[in-house]
Amino acid sequence: MPRSETTPVAAICREEALAKINLSLHVTRRRPDGYHELDSLVVFAGPGDRVEVTPAVTDPAKWNTVFEEGPAKRDLHVSGPFSDALAQESDNLVQRAEHQFREAFGSPPARLHLQKNLPVAAGIGGGSADAAATLRALSRLWKLSPEPKKMAALALKLGADVPVCLSQRPVHMSGIGEKLAPLAQMPALHLLLVNPGIALSTPAVFRSLKNTEIRKDTGRSHPGRFSSMDELTGWLRSAGNDLEAPASALVPEIGEILHLLRRQQGCLLARMSGSGATCFGLFARAADTHRAEAVMKTAFAGGWVQPVEAAARVSAPG
C-alpha cells in the first residue's frame, strides 16, 4: 500500500490515555471461540498514561523508500513510574497499533513515546487505552480522518477493550466490547483508585469464573443518561461486577481494599474495576476522596493509590 500523500500536522502529537473504569460489569455469555460477552457501564478518568508520536523520518522525500522497504524498526521509548513492567516486552499494544495503522492507511512510520503512569494488568484498560491513544495521535499527526467504522474495526483487531477507549466517553458496552451506546449525560465523578501492587491476569480471572456466575441475561434496563449522582448510585447499587468474586479468590487483598474503602467518610460505592485488581471508591466530594487517599496509602503502602476525576458529560441536544 502506498504511503499517505500528507505531511505531518506538527512535529509531535500527544494524546492522553485515561483510565477505563467499569462502574458495573456483568458476564452474559461464554462464546464457543473462548471470548466472553459482557454488559458494562464504563467511564474514563484521569490523569492517566500519555502517548506521544513523531515522524520516524524527518525528510518527506524518504517516506516512500522507508515504507516500501518494509516495516521499519518501530522505535518505542517508555518512561514513567510503571515503565519497568514493560521493559521486557519486545512488542506491545502501542507498537502493534502503530504498525496496523500504517498497514490500514498507508501512513509513514512514527516514533513512539509512552509515559506509563497507570499500573499494568490492573483492570483499568491501560494497554487498551494506550493503543487507542496511539491511533488518535497518528490520525492527528498525519492529518487523516478515518471513517469511524474503519477505525473501530482496526481498534477491535488490537483488542476487545480498545474500541471503547477510542472516544473515552461514558458508555454502555456490550458484546465482546464492540457494541457501544454512549450516554447523553453523566455527572462529574470523584473516584479513588486503589491497586494492591499485584498484577492480575485477565485470562486467569475468566478461567476462575464459574458457569453458574454467568448470566444469560442481565434483565436490567440501561438508562441513556444519568442526570444526578443519586440517580447514578441508585442504579449502580442494583448492579455489580461478576469478576469480583473470582478475582478476589486469586488476590484476597481485593476484598481487604473494598472493605476499607466502604468504611471511608463520603464513600457512596466501592467496587472492583474490570478483571482487577484495581478497586475504586466513588465519593460525594473531592475532599472526601483525598481524605480517604491518606488512609489507603497507609494501609496499602506497597500498592498504588490515585484520586482521579471523570468529567461531567452532557451531549448537545439532537
Which residues are catalytically annotated? 20, 161
Q: Is 22 helix (H, G, I), strand (E, B) or coil?
A: strand
SS3 of residue 52 by DSSP: strand
Kind plus residue range of the DSSP H or E element containing 86 = none
266 backbone dihedrals φ, ψ, rounded to 5°: 85, 0
Cα separation, 315 vs 250, in Å, equals 40
CA angle 247, 248, 252 (to 5 degrees): 135
* Grid coordinates of 180: 457501544
CB 296 within 8 A of CB 305: yes
Q: Reduced to 3 states, what is the DSSP secondary structure of residue 50? A: strand
Best CA proximity match to 278, nearest among 219, 166, 200, 222: 200
Give bridge partners of residue 25 from the DSSP assignment: 40, 241
CA atoms of 303 and 278, how far apart (whole Å):
10
Q: For CA atoms 34, 37, 41, 42, give the dihedral sign.
A: positive
Backbone angles phi, psi at 175, to 5 degrees: 65, -145
Number of Cβ within 10 Å of residue 166's Cβ equals 20
Residue 213's identity, in one-letter code, is E
Please provide residue 258's backbone torsions phi and psi, each rounded to the nearest 5 degrees.
-65, -40
Distance set, CA 197 to CA 34, 74, 163 (Å): 28, 30, 27
